[in-house]
Each structure stands twice: as structure tokens, then as C-alpha cells.
Structure 1
Amino acid sequence: MAIPSISELIILKALWRQQPLSAREIHQQIEDELGWSYSSTRKTLERMLEKGSVRQATLHGVQVYEAALEKVGTLATFAHDFGTRVMEMATPFPVNMFTGSKLVDDTELAQLEQLLQDWPDNDGGAK
């Protein structure tokens, strides 16, 4: 799975909290965090649509977006990348650092831990 950019992740997090959302609704949720113009939000959504990170539909005559990337799998990819590439860890990333997160509930935390433990190259060490 390709790792979304930080700005794409912020959009995905807005959609994971509530979807579907229009581009305007997404922008209202992320504008304080990113400090972007509405056109920047639209452009990023277009790129994400091309990458397959979001899906677009029409609801009551309005274009709306939904996350096409599953939350736990995407977070596992981020955590694994951070653990191996940034922290140069040869062992699975410790999921207990996510305890207390507002982004995942206990069930999702358990799924995240399992994904990180079962990562295909965990026995191969950091690269």
C-alpha cells in the first residue's frame, strides 16, 4: 500500500470520522490544521481520487467523498514505515504507543497490533 502524504492523511482522518462529506465539508474540518485555501483542498481530493485513496459519488446533487483506504490498514502502514524507515527498528512497532488515541478504539487498536505483528518482513529486520 502506498503511504498517503500527511495532508492526505488529514483528509482521510476527517472522512474516517464521518463520511460521506462534500469537499466544502472536508475543507471546513481541516482548514485550521492545514491553513489551506479551498482550492488546495479540492486539488488534493482530485489527486487522492486519481490514486484511489478516496471515492466520489453524488448525494442529493452534491459531489461527496468517502475514504477508499481502510483506517487500520493505513495506520499500520504509517506505523510500520515510521518504525523501520525513521526509527530503524528491526522488531515490530510497539502498538502500546497508540493507547489513548482518539483515532482508534480498542477493537481497532487490537487489529492494528495484529497487523504490525504479522507484517510480512518483520523477521527480516530493518532495511
Structure 2
Amino acid sequence: MSRLPTPSNAELELLKCLWRTGACSARELHNGVAATLDWSYSSTRKTLERMVDKGLVAEAAEHGLNVYRARAGKVATLAALSSDFARRVLEIDGALPVQAFADSRLLSDTELTELEALLRDPDQDPQP
């Protein structure tokens, strides 16, 4: 499985907005994360440029606007971040229990099942 780079905290906020909405212009993304990131529109634009370069998001022109879509899969990204946190911070060698994510507003029941499988076997290919 090809792995995308780990997103920074700011990049993760932009990805979460894209995962919720599907596709957004830079302005829509900026407005969607304004309460969380509290930064300028130019910072959002610069971060999006870096994310395109890293392969985390795709950019396409639609109706005269640049529109962004997540290329990084939600479940695969969350599994990688969670496993990294468990290993580096908590010093846990095994998989985190999926129950730790049960109250997540970001994940559906189907995605929780996919996450559980990825946490058990991080080398498997995630669902598209």
C-alpha cells in the first residue's frame, strides 16, 4: 500500500473539512476551519499548496474556481495517526482498541469497522 505523508495538525483540520464536505474551494475550506485554526486566508492557501505538493489533496479547476478534494483517505489517515500516537507517545506495541473511537463524530459505523481492521493489520490496503 502506498502511504501518503503524515499531515500536520493544520493539514488534518483541512482534511477533516474535506472529508465532511467532499470538495471545497479554498475560501470554503478557510471558512470551515476558521474557528479552529484562527489564521489568515493566505495561510489556508499556502497550506493547501503544500498539501497538493505532498499528495494529500487534489486540486481541479471547476467553474473558474480551484476546488480541492482529499486524496488521503480518512480511515487510513486516522489509523496511521492513531498507531503512531500509541507507539510513540503511549509506548503501546499492539493495536489500540477500536472502542477508543466509538464516540467519534468523524467516523461512521462502517468506517469504525474499517479502522479496526487497519489497526490490527496496518499493512493491508484500506477500502477506497
Scaled by the length of structure 1, the TM-score of the pair is 0.92
| Structure 1 residue 73: Cα displacement | 0.3
8 A contact 2:80–2:122 mirrored in 1: no
3-state SS, counterpart of residue 80 of structure 1: helix
The answer to whether the aligner puts 1:39 opposite 2:7 as a matched pair is no
- 1:108 correspondence with 2:111: yes
Helix, strand or coil: the match of 2:6?
Answer: coil
| Alignment check: 8 A CA contact 2:59 2:67 kept | yes
Show structure 2 runs of 5+ residues with no match: 124-128
Match of 2:13? 10
TM superposition shift of 1:119: 2.6
**Displacement after TM superposition at 1:59 (Å):** 1.1
1:1-127 correspondence runs (5 A): 1=3, 2-120=5-123
1:17-65, CA deviations, whole angstroms, 9 ceiling, x for partnerless residues?
Answer: 0121000000000011010100000000000000000000011111100
Identical amino acids, percent of aligned pairs: 51
How many angstroms apart in 2 are the aligned matches of 1:19 and 1:108? 16
Matched residues, number: 120
4+ runs deviating over 3 angstroms = none
Amino acid at match of 1:22: S
Aligned match of 1:125: none
RMSD (Å) for aligned C-alpha atoms: 0.8
Cα deviation digits, residues 52-82 of structure 1 (max 9, x gap): 0000001111110000101100000011001
- Counterpart in 1 of 2:126? none
Unaligned runs of 5+ in 1: 121-127
Distance in 2 of aligned mates of 1:33 and 1:49: 21
For residues 113 and 74 of structure 1, what CA distance do their matches in structure 2 show?
13
Q: CA deviation at 1:94?
A: 1.5
Corresponding residue SS for 1:93: coil
